[in-house]
């Protein structure tokens, strides 16, 4: 905690706002993670578990709001038992669907949860870079601003051997300047129009190639309910699962905070997981799936997540 606080202090002294402090470890470090959550760590991950470990971990997972995990299905034979894990979480503590994801060929050392996966000691910086788009009128202006910030951070920690790098993923949140969809509209596009332009591939090319110290996922996140303006597109039928998967295939990182009704057919989830597995393996790229439920809302009902990071919406069938 002392070491982490030193990093935070250094960033704040250089005019960065630190939103959250997060710790990734392994299931062997569970006791330590539970203690850290009492000391101000808002997110603590045990990383990737297999199916058997996942079920054993669930009681501790439910008991601690900070704990998260993922299950890597890249090489698994996906069965209804994997889908049942999500159903179990929905029935027992639906709020914790926010802290769980299925992953495929996951990249280690990302600060983005719940797909975080520990590999080695050190610290990583992740950003919410949509905020930098506020006074940008072109895509190039925004990309250049992001690059300036990456270089500033890399220079700040150039002599720190514990600095592992920057996950330059695009992580939208809320509305206005923090929303990626808001920026798309500012550029003169509708969201539907934008998905068949080269905007997304330009962004991901830049964040992978111009990051001076890349680590982790370094991709385009499309969190359905965390980007409140994307949530509106979802409600309007403009962000279906197939559009989400299409964007993830060429630029994104999978299905994220995507709403699911408690009456959704379990076999539909299995079909989607099998598709993500096939695409992830075919193109050797990290992908994940995080479905969220409030434990009550069915298809065509309005959700009530009681989570500041998720916009409530009318839930559609997958």
Helix or strand (DSSP H, E) at 34: helix 30-37
- Given a cut of 90, whether residue 77 has pLDDT beyond it is yes
In DSSP terms, 289 is beta-bridged to 102, 255
- Given a cut of 90, whether residue 176 has pLDDT beyond it is no
- pLDDT on residue 266: 92
Q: Quote the pTM value.
A: 0.94
**Alpha helices (runs of H) in 121-188, residue ranges in sequence order:** 139-156, 180-186
- Given a cut of 90, whether residue 318 has pLDDT beyond it is yes
- The DSSP secondary-structure symbol of 313 reads -
pLDDT tens digits for range 264-308:
999 999 999 999 999 999 999 999 999 999 999 999 999 999 999
- pLDDT on residue 39: 84
- Given a cut of 90, whether residue 195 has pLDDT beyond it is yes
Mean pLDDT of 69-79: 96
pLDDT tens digits for range 117-144:
999 999 999 999 999 998 899 999 999 9
Alpha-carbon torsion (103, 107, 108, 113), positive or negative: negative
The domain spans of the chain are 2-292
Cβ atoms < 10 Å from Cβ of 17:
8
pLDDT tens digits for range 249-266:
999 999 999 999 999 999
pLDDT grade, residue 38 (50/70/90)? Answer: confident
- Given a cut of 90, whether residue 173 has pLDDT beyond it is yes
Contact 260, 266 (CB under 8 A): no
pLDDT grade, residue 30 (50/70/90)? Answer: very high
What is the overall mean pLDDT for the chain? 95
- pLDDT on residue 177: 84
Look up tokens 């470090």; give the residue.
29
Mean pLDDT of 51-59: 96
Contact 110, 118 (CB under 8 A): no
Angle between helices 30-37 and 51-63 (to 10 degrees): 30
């Amino acid at each position: 905690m002392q070491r982490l606080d030193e990093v935070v202090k250094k960033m704040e002294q250089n005019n960065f706002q630190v939103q959250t402090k997060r710790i990734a470890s392994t299931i062997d470090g569970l006791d330590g993670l539970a203690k850290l959550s009492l000391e101000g760590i808002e997110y603590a991950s045990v990383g990737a578990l297999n199916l058997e470990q996942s079920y054993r971990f669930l009681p501790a997972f439910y008991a601690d709001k900070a704990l998260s995990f993922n299950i890597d299905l890249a090489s698994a034979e996906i069965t209804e038992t994997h889908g049942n894990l999500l159903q179990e979480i929905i029935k027992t503590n639906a709020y914790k669907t926010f802290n769980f994801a299925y992953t495929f060929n996951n990249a280690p050392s990302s600060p983005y949860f719940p797909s975080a996966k520990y590999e080695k000691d050190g610290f990583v910086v992740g950003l919410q870079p949509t905020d930098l788009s506020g006074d940008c009128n072109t895509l190039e202006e925004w990309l250049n601003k992001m690059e300036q910030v990456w270089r500033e951070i890399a220079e700040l920690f150039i002599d720190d051997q514990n600095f592992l790098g920057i996950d330059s993923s695009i992580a939208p949140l809320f509305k206005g300047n923090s929303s990626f969809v808001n920026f798309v509209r500012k550029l003169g596009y509708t969201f539907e129009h934008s998905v068949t332009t080269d905007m997304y591939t330009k962004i991901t090319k830049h964040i992978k190639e111009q990051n001076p110290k890349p680590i982790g996922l370094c991709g385009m996140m499309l969190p359905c309910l965390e980007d409140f303006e994307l949530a509106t597109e979802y409600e309007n039928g403009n962000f279906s699962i197939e559009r989400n998967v299409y964007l993830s295939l060429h630029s994104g990182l999978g299905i994220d905070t995507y709403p699911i009704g408690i009456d959704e057919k379990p076999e539909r989830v299995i079909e989607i997981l099998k598709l993500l597995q096939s695409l992830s393996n075919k193109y050797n790229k990290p992908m994940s799936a995080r479905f969220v439920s409030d434990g009550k809302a069915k298809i065509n009902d309005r959700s009530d997540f009681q989570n500041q990071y998720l916009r409530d919406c009318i839930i559609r069938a997958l």
